[in-house]
Amino acid sequence: MTRILLILLLFAPYAQAQRPSAQSQSQPRAHSQSQPPGITHPLNVGDIPFDPGIDDPQFQLNDSTRVFQYYNSNSWWLDHKDAYHDLFIKATGKWTAAPTQSGWLTIRFIVNTAGQTGRYRALEMDSVYQPFHFDPRLTANLLATVKTAHWEPAHYHGKVYDTYQYITFHLERGRLVDIMP
């Protein structure tokens, strides 16, 4: 009997520590109207912090704590994909400088509430998803075309939000074969 009592006394603090608190048992909070879904906060994966070495200081965000991802509202890109596809095909259609280069070139940027773009970042991978660099002239050509294209920020419940946008170019043997998302 004393053995059982001793075992219970030894495990009582452990059992107490393992019991979930009332706070952790509460239901997750739903989004309120004042906190729209999909906003990002500084230092989330994919955020683009200002870099004075490469970013235009004139490009301003309306609210850096509320930057939507492109998929959090009706996407300008998806509604106009065909027109953009034609624009990028024309930009790369005569490209012959890199006939052996294949892979993916992603350009990520922000569209502010005024429809201006900035904070461009490029990520390049070869066809087996390893870091890679396309011919710099091809990258510059695609980046220039992204910069001159018309982009719209996210609209949600009648408000306009700064928006992260990305576009990925799939190239095979130097030719553009697909544009995503």
Tokens of 36: 């729209």
- CA-wise closest residue to 69 among 77, 58, 57: 77
Residue 149 lies in a domain: yes
Range of the domain at 72: 38-180
Cα(181)–Cα(163) distance, rounded to whole angstroms?
Answer: 15
Cα(35)–Cα(33) distance, rounded to whole angstroms?
Answer: 5
b/e string for 105-129 if b means 16 or more Cβ within 10 A?
A: bebbbbbbbeebbbbbebebeeeee
pTM of the model: 0.70
The string of pLDDT tens digits covering residues 62-93 is: 988 888 887 777 666 677 777 777 778 777 66
Residue 29 lies in a domain: no
Residue 14 lies in a domain: no
The string of pLDDT tens digits covering residues 118-140 is: 999 999 999 999 999 998 888 88
Residue 64 lies in a domain: yes
Residue 135 lies in a domain: yes
Residue 32 lies in a domain: no
Structural domains in the chain (count): 1
Q: Which residues pair with 166 in a beta bridge?
A: 108
User: Where residue 181 falls among pLDDT bands split at 50, 70, 90?
Assistant: confident
